[in-house]
Structure 1
Amino acid sequence: MMMMEERKEAAAWFHELRDQIVAAFEGLEDRSAGEGPAGRFEVTPTSRPNNGGGGIMSVMRGGRVFEKVGVNWSEVHGELAPQAQAAMTARGVPGVAEDPRFWASGISLVAHMQNPHAPAVHMNTRMFWTPSAWWFGGGTDLNPCLEYDADTRFFHQVLKDACDPYDAGYYPRFKEWADEYFFIPHRGARGVGGIFYDDLNTGDWRADFDFTRAVGEAFLPAFLPLAEARSKQDWTADDREAQLVHRGLYAEYNLVYDRGTKFGLATGHDPNAVLMSLPPLAKWI
């Protein structure tokens, strides 16, 4: 089950999605009337030890709209570290305990905004392969520090519209999964939710890949209108304080619970790329 062509196609599409999002975010910076020059992404190649693949880390700091946003793409391979091997075996991934080889590709995005009224957001989609199995995973969730019910409804409706043509049960199932996954036991929900799925293998690679593409392609229509509209609002020092405190909650989740953070660090990926999700400034009270 080498799936060389499928893996090549998936990695190329994740790269293409990365390019589309980077261009869209820089376009939003250009349209913004905020102070200072329009933000631009700094692009850095990343690599893993022993020629285990790598990727592209793209980070924008100090833009008109985005205080910090990372859009990373990767294609990596090698052998799972014992910790990752044990975790996947515990999840029921077949064959991993006997053969630790893997390949993975995907895109990972986290945006922290200048304006406290504009919501932070996370998105990722990925394909994972082992000699015995393959699957897709990903999703997106909205993380406003100042919540607007209309924004939450809009974001979720775009995601539902993306899911429904593939399976009417996907959106409610993956929404519930997001609510459970993006949850901090000692704090509560880290945002207003979205969708999350993992280990998606219906037996039809093409159908599962097409669905994953639909999720990735829904991201900009779901998020960009909210970011553009809310970034035009006036904000106060109290709003900024609420934003920084909420970012502390986001950082706690990514450092303690996030599966992607744990996997990236355990498999030797560039720690700066793995931890690009952390906000530039945060507070705890």
Structure 2
Amino acid sequence: MTATMDTQKTTASAWFRTLRDQIVAAFEGLEDSHQAGPMSDATAGRFEVTETTRASDDGSDAGGGLMSVMRDGRVFEKVGVNVSTVYGTLGEAAQKSMAARGVPGIEDDPQFWASGISLVAHMQNPHCPAVHMNTRMFWTPGAWWFGGGSDLNPCIEYDDDTAHFHAEQKRACDLHGADLYPRLKDWADEYFYIPHRKRARGVGGIFLDDHNTGDWNADFALIQDIGRAFLPAFTPLVEKRRTTPWFEADRDTQLIHRGLYAEYNLVWDRGTKFGLATGHDANAVLMSLPPLAKWV
């Protein structure tokens, strides 16, 4: 590993932590500013922060991160914002999976390093959409790449909310080429699909993985812009919908939709499978699950 790559890894890890800090502050600000409408008389939520560790087979240092979870706030019923930097040796299943994806040299040298931020928000008001965002950098001796994206998961859909969310994603992508947003949107539509339900889990967004053009600085700039687009894409929707009155039928719709989210994350999500397979803190990996859900 070159000194340049060491610097790049440190830079990427620091960026994910900076983005985490910005989002945590913004979400606590939404809690404080919710002064009217449903749940406004509740106590403003605050994140509980826990250090996480990755378990290695031989007991050596394998990295870790921060799990930040807010529960039972005015606006957020449960939201987690995790950041981690982990490293070590991949297990056999993870090696085979990456080899099947064409990662060069992974069967000969299973070392890895990974850093990223992962966020999922489940809202109090059923008219406020749930949301997911993650961005990450991955390194092996034979390759490095970036991945992640953001997608909106409303239980009660509003066309103007969907349009705003996608417009912000497009704005970020357009900084890196006019052809990028359509490709990443299609990728998200394919990735965030629940085959056994024959439907998407939400209204989409953008997604990419194994992203390596050979220009680390350009690729890192893209992943930063995807991260920067998250708050402008999401927070205006919360501010617009959080005062909307809701009823038990709306709550029922919300809980059933959360069941779809849980099914996807437990059965299909590649990040969930990787986190559990490589020994990362199970509570942090499963942070994305909703606090309550319902199945018909």
The TM-score, its normalising length taken from structure 2, stands at 0.95
Partner of 1:184: 194
Q: What letter corresponds to residue 4 of structure 1 in structure 2? A: D
1:245 matches 2:256: yes
Partner of 2:180: 170
Of 27-36 and 63-72, more deviation after overlay is shown by 27-36
1:13 matches 2:36: no
SS at structure 2 position matched to 1:209: helix
Q: What letter corresponds to residue 222 of structure 2 in structure 1? A: F
1:266 matches 2:277: yes
Which whole-Å CA distance do the structure 1 matches of 2:91 and 2:69 have between them? Answer: 27
Partner of 1:59: 69
- Cα RMSD of the aligned pairs, angstroms, is 0.6
Which whole-Å CA distance do the structure 1 matches of 2:41 and 2:264 have between them? Answer: 32
SS at structure 2 position matched to 1:51: coil
Which whole-Å CA distance do the structure 2 matches of 1:52 and 1:118 have between them? Answer: 38
Deviations along 1:197-242, one digit per CA (max 9) or x if unpaired, are 0000000000000000000000000000001211110001100000
Query: 1:35: Cα distance to partner?
Result: 2.2
Which whole-Å CA distance do the structure 1 matches of 2:112 and 2:294 have between them? Answer: 38
Which whole-Å CA distance do the structure 1 matches of 2:284 and 2:169 have between them? Answer: 27
Could you tell me which of 18, 29, 45 is aligned with 1:27? Answer: 29
**What number of residue pairs does the alignment pair up?**
285
After TM superposition, the structure 1 = structure 2 runs for residues 55-94 of structure 1, keeping only pairs within 5 Å, are 55-94=65-104
Which whole-Å CA distance do the structure 2 matches of 1:176 and 1:83 have between them? Answer: 28
Which whole-Å CA distance do the structure 2 matches of 1:218 and 1:11 have between them? Answer: 18
- Note the residue ranges of structure 2 that are not aligned, 5 or more in a row: none
Query: 1:81: Cα distance to partner?
Result: 1.1
Which whole-Å CA distance do the structure 1 matches of 2:100 and 2:41 have between them? Answer: 50
Deviations along 1:223-277, one digit per CA (max 9) or x if unpaired, are 0000121111000110000000000000000000001100000000000000000
SS at structure 2 position matched to 1:11: helix
Shift >6 Å, 4+ stretches:
none
Which whole-Å CA distance do the structure 1 matches of 2:61 and 2:10 have between them? Answer: 17
Partner of 2:225: 214
1:283 matches 2:294: yes
The TM-score, its normalising length taken from structure 1, stands at 0.99
